[in-house]
Amino acid sequence: MDGSRSPHETLAAAEPSFAPILDANRGPVDMRPVRRWENDVFAANVRSWLASPDAPAEAPAAYAFACECGGRGCSAQVELTLADYESTSQVIATEHGPRDWAWPLGSVGTVRIPWP
Ligand SMILES: [Zn+2]
């Protein structure tokens, strides 16, 4: 920390010392509730917009909701009407919904999720 190393060199020198601590605290992250929250907020915003004077005379029939498969890096979207969204407990893109789906979780291996 005397300025003789670049930030990258300092990080490279310090990182091995903290790796065991960082690895111990790195568990699997379940993104499904996060995506559900994102979709709930989006649906509430759309409902507010549709109820406002700014709503167009002919509103879109469907809206793009986030896939709730929980896969890391999943950015798939599913087109649903608000009614369809409100009647489903989980939004899953067709390509992300096999019955027994697995995804890699880096250093902790693979998690398999039994599909209902
Ligand atoms: Zn997905």
| pLDDT digit string, tens, across residues 67-110 | 998 887 888 999 999 999 999 989 988 888 754 445 544 444 44
Ligand 1 centre from 36 Cα, in Å?
A: 12
| pLDDT score, position 9 | 85
Q: How far apart are CA 85 and CA 77, in angstroms?
A: 12
Residue 115 has pLDDT above 70, yes or no: no
Residues with CB under 5 A from ligand 1 (ion): 67, 69, 71, 74, 76, 93, 96
pLDDT at residue 98 in the model? 57
pLDDT of residue 25: 67
According to the model, what pLDDT value does residue 45 have? 96
Specify the pLDDT at position 3.
Answer: 78
How much distance in Å is there from the Cα of 2 to the middle of ligand 1? 46
In this model, does residue 116 exceed pLDDT 70? no
| pLDDT tens-place string over residues 14-70 | 888 887 777 776 667 788 999 999 999 999 999 999 999 999 999 899 999 999 988
The Å distance, Cα 99 to ligand 1 centre, comes to 13
Q: What is the pLDDT of residue 40?
A: 97
Note the pLDDT of residue 52.
95
pTM of the model: 0.62
Q: Output the CA 1–ligand 1 centroid distance in Å.
A: 43
Domain boundaries, the chain: 29-112
Residues 6+ apart with CB under 8 A from 25: none
